[in-house]
């Protein structure tokens, strides 16, 4: 079974600085998708960025980028020029292309605080 | 389309009572998912539908839980004989076909069993 591990329960960053959130996963599959979701205090999960495992190029969405290391099974999220609105829980998630396509597997999350 | 809608936002119930939650997905999304999230944890998968067919159920979904999606539109999640351990946020999400699509989540229903 696949697992997702986020080893940083909490992180803090100064406004306008850069922060990196870590995520590792375990799978025997070769094709899959990885996601980062943001959950602000209002509790609605928002998709931040996605990465297809077959793509070597790291995904980028404005101030958000990932460092995808397939061999190391690592998928970190970098937030540049941090803003107060980035404060939230961030969840890393894995989705299989195989049998369990309905099951998005989440890590336990990292709580990001942004200091003004 | 205003996104995924869940009702009610909050529900307090006494142990042993039955509760039902509703989810209205984005209209063009044919897949609908239910997740449960407890404090300090990531969401855990419960079940998902493709159109009206329930294609997968987690082992977390005990026989006290049942979900339906009549006509492939809205979905309901019912919990019978609620227990204190059922207290959690219940999240609904929808997506189009294709694993590359991220899910669109609703705001959730917070259940408190007293």
Q: Which residues contact A76 (CB under 8 A, 6 or more apart)?
A: A20, A21, A22, A23, A66, A67
CA end-to-end span of chain A, whole Å?
A: 41
Q: What is the pLDDT of residue A44?
A: 87
Mean pLDDT of B61-67: 92
Q: What is the pLDDT of residue B114?
A: 96
Per-residue confidence band for A99, with pLDDT thresholds at 50, 70 and 90: low
Angle (nearest 5°) at CA B18 between B17 and B21: 135
- From the list A42, A104, A109, which residue is nearest B103 (CB)? A104
Residue with tokens 């989540």: B105
- From the list B31, B56, B102, which residue is nearest A35 (CB)? B102
Mean pLDDT of A47-66: 93
Residue with tokens 């699509």: B101
CA distance B108 to chain A (A): 7
Residue with tokens 């294609």: B55
Q: What is the pLDDT of residue B21?
A: 97
Distance CA A107, CA A6 (A): 6
Mean pLDDT of B36-42: 90
Q: Which of A19, A29, A26 is nearest to A2 (CA)?
A: A26
What residues of A are in contact with residue B40 (Cβ under 8 Å)? 108-109
Distance CA A6, CA A22 (A): 6
Mean pLDDT of A98-103: 65
CA distance B94 to chain A (A): 10
Positive/negative CA dihedral, B111, A95, A106, B81: positive
CA distance A14 to chain B (A): 24
Nearest CA in chain A to B45: A103
What residues of A are in contact with residue B104 (Cβ under 8 Å)? 47
- From the list B33, B41, B44, which residue is nearest A102 (CB)? B33
Task: State pLDDT tens for residues B41-52.
Answer: 899 999 999 999
Q: Do the beta carbons of residue A99 and residue A8 sit within 8 Å?
A: no
Q: Do the beta carbons of residue A47 and residue B103 sit within 8 Å?
A: yes
CA distance B48 to chain A (A): 6
Q: What is the pLDDT of residue A100?
A: 61
DSSP classification of residue A72: T
Q: Is B69 exposed, middle or buried (0-12, 13-18, 19+ CB in 10 A)?
A: buried
User: What is the SS3 assignment for B70?
Assistant: helix
Task: State pLDDT tens for residues A27-53.
Answer: 998 889 999 999 998 778 999 999 999
Count how many pairs of residues, chain A against chain B, have C-beta atoms within 8 Å: 63
Question: B17: which 2 tokens?
Answer: 């009572």
Angle (nearest 5°) at CA B26 between B73 and B46: 70
In chain B, what are the helix, strand and coil shares in percent, each to the nearest 5? 5, 50, 45
Q: Do the beta carbons of residue B19 and residue B11 sit within 8 Å?
A: yes
């Amino acid at each position: 079974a696949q697992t997702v591990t986020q080893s940083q329960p909490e992180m803090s960053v100064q406004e306008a600085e850069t922060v990196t959130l870590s995520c590792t996963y375990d799978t025997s599959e070769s094709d899959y998708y990885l996601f980062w979701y943001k959950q602000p205090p209002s509790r609605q999960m928002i998709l931040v960025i996605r990465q297809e495992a077959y793509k070597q190029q790291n995904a980028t969405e404005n101030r958000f980028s990932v460092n995808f290391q397939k061999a190391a099974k690592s998928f970190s999220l970098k937030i540049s020029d941090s803003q107060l609105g980035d404060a939230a829980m961030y969840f890393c998630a894995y989705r299989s292309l195989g049998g369990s396509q309905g099951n998005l597997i989440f890590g336990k999350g990292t709580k990001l605080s942004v200091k003004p | 389309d205003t996104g995924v809608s869940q009702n009610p936002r909050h529900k307090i119930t006494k142990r042993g009572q039955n509760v039902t939650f509703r989810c209205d997905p984005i209209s063009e999304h044919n897949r609908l998912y239910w997740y449960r999230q407890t404090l300090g944890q990531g969401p855990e998968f419960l079940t998902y539908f493709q159109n009206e067919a329930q294609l997968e159920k987690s082992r977390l979904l005990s026989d006290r839980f049942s979900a339906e999606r009549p006509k492939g539109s809205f979905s309901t999640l019912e919990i019978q004989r609620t227990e204190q351990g059922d207290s959690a946020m219940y999240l609904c999400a929808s997506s189009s076909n294709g694993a590359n699509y991220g899910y669109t989540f609703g705001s959730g229903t917070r259940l408190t069993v007293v």
